[in-house]
Structure 1
Amino acid sequence: MARITALLFASLFLSPLSAASPTRASPLLASRQDTDNEGLHSLMLAAGKLFFGTATDVRYLDNKAHQAIVQNPNEFGMIVPENSQKWGELEKEDKGKVDFTNTDIIAAQAKGNGQLFRCHVLVWGAQLPSYVTSTSWTEKTLSDVLQAHITTTVTHFGSQCYSWDVVSEALSSSPDSNTLSTTSLFHQVLGASYIPFSFYWTSLAADPSSKLYYNDFNLELSPSKAQGAVDIVHLIRNYTSPTGEKNKARIDGIGLQSHLFVSSVPSLPSLTSTLELFTNLSLEVSFSELDISHSSLSPSPNATQIEQQEKDYMTVISACLAVKGCVGITVWGFSDKYSWVKDAFPGKGGGCLYDENMKNKGSWFAVAEVLRRAGVVRRGAVAVDASLDGEVAVAVNSTTTVEGEGGGGGGRDPDEAVRKAARSGELMRGVNGTELMVAAGEEVGDAQGKGQGVVNGARRWVVTGWGGWVVVMGWGFWGFWGILSS
């Protein structure tokens, strides 16, 4: 008789983390394996994604402890220059005098360590050269300068860049607005056309293998702003060049910056829905500047707040794992010592995966645990007993049968239950009350991308893959996602 195995990432909602220490979480589950020697990038690869990365820069080169972590390709498989590649850093002095030295150092590090290199950022309304902000521009003169900057910079780095952040933060910062920011110099002189113009010239200069991204904040928090990003995608794709060429401006991805605060992270359904808004446009997506900060560091965050931060990180990671087109996650600095948040928002912070002494925090272990489980399941080596009175226990390299019955099926044999659920599209309910949705269809494998809808308040769908595993995702009041194989 075939046996049913299931994995529920119940640590998101069902199995709370302990936060006894600010630098390390207690075991998430009784049978939790230690992740001390597993790097986040290696775990991300095992989970089927492309990278786990971090921002860094030349000003951290003298910190040996920091460098030992950032140059470990098992920990970070992608690095991105936090500031040194921005226009104002490249042309600090005279117009046309471009200095790539600092960014070249970071690019060489990435190459030497076998890490991907993300290039950031070509066109942004801040950190511009002084001559750009002080000159009275016409449409023609600013277009010429912008084109020259893009072409010179992109050509210099050539095929070194996995991706380019072509334009960042073009949308209004108003929470519920889908309109473009009118405070940008580029918008004031060139109007909305500066966005597709920038993608057009980047498309011409960039290596064909480099991905071209639009990058912005609060896309995951505001449906209106996310729709504004969708509008930008269409604007780029419908662009007619100055010479009358159509369909020459390329966009390949959307970066969700995700500068978030503890207890204000969107739900898993909300995050996956936002990611899918873009993947449905045949774009890849990534969480591009992730940090989850405490809204106050005085007094120091208590155990409950630390635990919530861990859960919030797990939610974001799980959202990327849940969406096929999410290729990876980049944190905007990995240590609280160098976090941009404490300078930009005094009194807030503590949002990184490492503390100021370069020690793994509880949030690091929470992220590692989610990735480790996903990787183990992808290799088909784990089973989970979901019948433990609201708890979930991982049993590695063993087989555990989920006890349950198919809705309307009337039988308690779990194999028959899942077969009936697969045929009827009804719920399979574990004895602890956890609900799993199997999409309708005689063959579950034929249900990929189908079965969406609402049953008893639980949104659900089924996707297949991962070495023969069937991925069942859904949530109700408590929220969860899981993996089934039969």
Structure 2
Amino acid sequence: MKPVRLITATLAAAALSIPLAAPASADPAPDHRGHNHPGHAKPGTLRWAAPDDLVIGTAVAGGGHHLEQDYPDPFTSDKEYRKLLARHFSSVSAENQMKWEYIHPARGEYDFGMADAIVEFAERHGQDVRGHTLFWHSQNPAWLEEGDFTDEELREILHDHITTVVGRYEGRIDQWDVANEIFDSSGELRTEENIWIRELGPGIIADAFRWAHEADPSAELYFNDYGVEDVNAKSDAYYELIRELLADDVPVHGFSAQVHLSTQYGFPGSLEENLQRFDDLGLGTALTEVDVRMRLPESGEPTPEQLEQQADYYEQALSACLGVEGCGSFTIWGFTDKYSWVPVFFEGEGSATIMDGQFTPKPSYFALKSTLLEAGDDHGWGPPPWAGRDW
């Protein structure tokens, strides 16, 4: 393997010296709360309300489209954002900072500055980390997509990337989205869009999982996609592929649905049923990128009816996860509209997260918290008197 040059983002390095909110250790959580992250789950927060077997997560805003916005990097510059990130969530995912174009800017060069900062932040605040993503058709650097490589060279580039990135965080990242969005809506492999499948054939998918497992045997390895919430052609394709891979002893540990929803469309009614069939294969399941966008009125502000429908969708998604024994991770794709990706990619739509641009919680926030508390009640735990305060 050729030696690699590691470069660290100046901004991320500076972020490590920024005083961050200390974990809230006062008012220790009752015994039935916060077992996964003792000392960090402050009463009244989402992570405290969550049952022991469920981590509640969010994407960490930064990289990608944020670089083109008229604000500084959210994660490194916004103290209130970091405070709420630590306070409410027991799991974090890098929104863009671990994707190829960001972490591998040139052949033989890796920029781990922001990824390191996120992992270290999570460790300080008792949070799990989901790695996103290793094998994708999108957000790849130009040097890769436009390069003239032999099959052998391309295979070694992928092997080096997975080994280097996963190996760097061995024992520190709990789940990896190894293969992301490899099927189209009809259930066909993306043989043209995905450089790895196009040039190296479908067998490279199994190799990616094997290489990731070799680099970190402790990490859970996932397939991840959008449009697979229902039982449909796309989720059927994943089901059949995973069955084949498991039969060949490929280390696949989980299947996750992104759950990017819109109030313009109906809720995916077979979500729980779909998760359950993957659970029946012995896999872990997760909801990894949950948000609920809406087409906004001319005022730019959602109506009460829209917010009520949005809260219902969030609650249904969480309830579907809670209804499946092996669904152990529920992640929203950003928690504040201030830094949401939705308005950038969906013109005229927005307000997709659980807090507005001033970090004020919406009905969706309270719907999630009450659903988490009710899940605890199902195990015989009654919410204490302070459960509804201190958002």
- Give your verdict on TM over 0.5: yes
The 2-side partners of 1:265 and 1:118 are apart by 28
Stretches of structure 2 lacking an aligned partner (at least 5 in a row): 1-41, 63-72, 386-391
Paired residue type of 1:255: S
**Per residue, is there more strand in 1 or in 2?**
1
SS of residue matched to 1:71:
helix
Q: Return the offset for 1:178.
A: 1.5
Q: 1:23-172 alignment to 2 at 5 Å?
A: 38-45=44-51, 48-58=52-62, 59-60=73-74, 61-72=76-87, 75-92=88-105, 94-172=106-184
Q: Return the offset for 1:287.
A: 0.5
CA RMSD of aligned residues (A): 2.0
Q: Does 1:197 align with 2:203?
A: no
Aligned to 1:214: 223
**Is the 2:43–2:49 Cα contact (8 Å) retained in structure 1?**
no
Q: Return the offset for 1:56.
A: 0.4
SS of residue matched to 1:117:
strand
* TM-score of the aligned structures, taking structure 1 as reference length: 0.65
Q: Return the offset for 1:260.
A: 0.5
The 1-side partners of 2:198 and 2:349 are apart by 33
Aligned to 2:294: 294
**Is the 1:137–1:189 Cα contact (8 Å) retained in structure 2?**
no
Q: 1:65-464 alignment to 2 at 5 Å?
A: 65-72=80-87, 75-92=88-105, 94-172=106-184, 174=185, 177-182=186-191, 183-206=193-216, 208-221=217-230, 223-239=232-248, 247=249, 249-262=250-263, 264-266=265-267, 268=269, 270-299=270-299, 300-381=301-382
**Is the 1:54–1:330 Cα contact (8 Å) retained in structure 2?**
yes
Give aligned pairs, total.
331
Runs of 4+ deviating beyond 4 Å: none
The 1-side partners of 2:287 and 2:298 are apart by 28
The 1-side partners of 2:150 and 2:328 are apart by 40
Q: Return the offset for 1:222.
A: 5.3
**Is the 2:230–2:268 Cα contact (8 Å) retained in structure 1?**
no
Name the structure, 1 or 2, with higher relative contact order (CA <8 Å, separation 6+): 1
Paired residue type of 1:258: V
Identity %: 31
Aligned to 1:427: none
- Structure possessing the higher radius of gyration over alpha carbons: 1
Q: Return the offset for 1:197.
A: 1.5
**Is the 1:353–1:360 Cα contact (8 Å) retained in structure 2?**
yes
SS of residue matched to 2:354:
coil
The 2-side partners of 1:261 and 1:298 are apart by 18
* TM-score of the aligned structures, taking structure 2 as reference length: 0.80
The 2-side partners of 1:156 and 1:98 are apart by 11
Paired residue type of 2:84: I
The 2-side partners of 1:308 and 1:124 are apart by 32
The 1-side partners of 2:266 and 2:219 are apart by 31
Stretches of structure 1 lacking an aligned partner (at least 5 in a row): 1-35, 240-246, 383-394, 397-486
Q: Return the offset for 1:267.
A: 5.1
Q: Return the offset for 1:127.
A: 1.4
Paired residue type of 2:239: V
The 1-side partners of 2:134 and 2:343 are apart by 25
